Amino acid sequence: MAEQTAPPVIREQPGPAKPDAAVVRDALGVGVAVGLSGFAFGVTAAGSGLSLLQTCALSLLVFTGASQFALVGALAAGGNPFTAAAGAFFLGTRNAFYGLRLSQLLALPRAVRPFAAHWVIDETTAVALAQPTRRAVRLGFTVTGLTLYVLWNLTTLLGALGAEAIGDTAAWGLDAAGPAVFLALLAPMLRTTTERATAGIAVLLGLGLLPVLPAGVPVLVAALAAPAVLWAQGRRAAAREKREDAR
C-alpha cells in the first residue's frame, strides 16, 4: 500500500478539467487492485492467531495496510502490545504528511475532516494528487477511499474465514504473504543511495538484534537507521562545504 514515499509537490496552477468518468476509472483501478489484497491481510492475521473479530477490527478501524501487517507480525513474533503498536504507529506517521497535502487540495469543511481522515492513506493520496482540479481531487479521493475501504474490509473477512477453514496456513505458504507485502511496499521506495543505505542498515540491525533483544524491539531499533543515515549525510555535506570554503 505505498504508491509514494516523499509527499509530492503541490501544483500551483490548476490544470484543465478532467471528465468525471476518467477520474472514477483511475480511482476504481487503484481501489479494486489494492482492496483485494485485504485477503492477504485476513489470512496472515488469522494465521498468526488473531480472532476473526480482532482481524476485522484492525481493517475497519486502522485501515492502513502496512501498519496492520506490522502489528500482526510483531504480535505473532511474541512482541508485547506496546512495542508491537509502536512499530505500527511509526509506519502510520507518513499519513500525516499525506494529510498536509490533501487538506489544501481537498479544502474540506472542518466538520468533515475527522471523517475524511480515516481514508488518508497511500492510495487515496496518490489518486487525489494526480487530479488537475479541486472537483476531480475530491471525486478521486472519495471514490478511491470508498472502493478501497469496502473491498479491503470484505476481503479481510473472507481471508480470515478462509484461514480458519484451512487450518495450517503455513502449509499453504501463506506465512510468506506478510514479508512479500512488505517487500512490495518497500521496493518502489529504494530509489536513491540514501534509501538503499537506510534499508541495508535496518536489515542488519533487525536481524542482528533479533536473537538478543525482546520481540518487537529490534524493529524499533532498526528504525533508527533513518535518522542515522540523515545525520551522516548532513555531516558529509557539511564537510564538503568546509573543504570547498578552504579552497
Partner 1 sequence: MNPTTVWIAIGLTVVGCYLVKLLGLLVPAETLERPVVRRLAALMPVALLAALTAQQTFSAQGSLVIDARAAGVAAAAVALVLRAPFLVVVGAAVAVTAGVRALGG
**Residue 198 touches partner 1, criterion: CB under 8 A:** yes
CB within 8 Å of 95: residues ≥ 6 apart? 64, 120, 121
Per-residue contact string for residues 110-139; x = within reach of partner 1 by CB under 8 A? ---xx-xxx-xx------------------
What are the Cα distances from residue 39, in Å, to 34, 42, 186? 10, 5, 20
Applying the rule CB under 8 A, the residues between 15 and 54 that interact with partner 1 are: 33-34, 36-37, 40, 48-51, 54
**Residue 238 touches partner 1, criterion: CB under 8 A:** no
Q: Of 67-75, 133-141, 158-166, 239-247, which segment contacts partner 1 by CB under 8 A?
A: 67-75
C-alpha cell at 103: 487538506
Q: Of 129-137, 159-167, 226-234, 238-246, which segment contacts partner 1 by CB under 8 A?
A: 226-234
Q: How far is the CB of 19 from partner 1 (least distance, A)?
A: 26
Q: Of 12-20, 133-141, 179-187, 237-245, which segment contacts partner 1 by CB under 8 A?
A: 179-187
What count of other Cβ atoms lies within 10 Å of the Cβ of residue 39?
Answer: 21
Using CB under 8 A as the binding criterion, the count of chain residues that bind partner 1 stands at: 107
C-alpha cell at 142: 472519495
Of 136 and 185, which CB lies nearer to partner 1 in the complex structure? 185
- Of the residues 7, 28, 146, 154, which one makes contact with partner 1 according to CB under 8 A: 7
Start-to-end CA distance of the chain, whole Å, equals 48
CA atoms within 13 A on the CB side of 158: 12
- Of the residues 21, 111, 183, 246, which one makes contact with partner 1 according to CB under 8 A: 183
Distance, in Å, from the CA atom of 131 to the CA atom of 16, rounded to the nearest integer, reads 10
- Of the residues 203, 237, 238, 239, which one makes contact with partner 1 according to CB under 8 A: 203
Q: Is 62 helix (H, G, I), strand (E, B) or coil?
A: coil
Of 32 and 239, which CB lies nearer to partner 1 in the complex structure? 32
Exposure string over 7-38, b if 16+ CB within 10 A, otherwise e: beeeeeeeeeebeeeebbebbbebbeebbbbb
**Residue 164 touches partner 1, criterion: CB under 8 A:** no
Distance, in Å, from the CA atom of 208 to the CA atom of 222, rounded to the nearest integer, reads 10
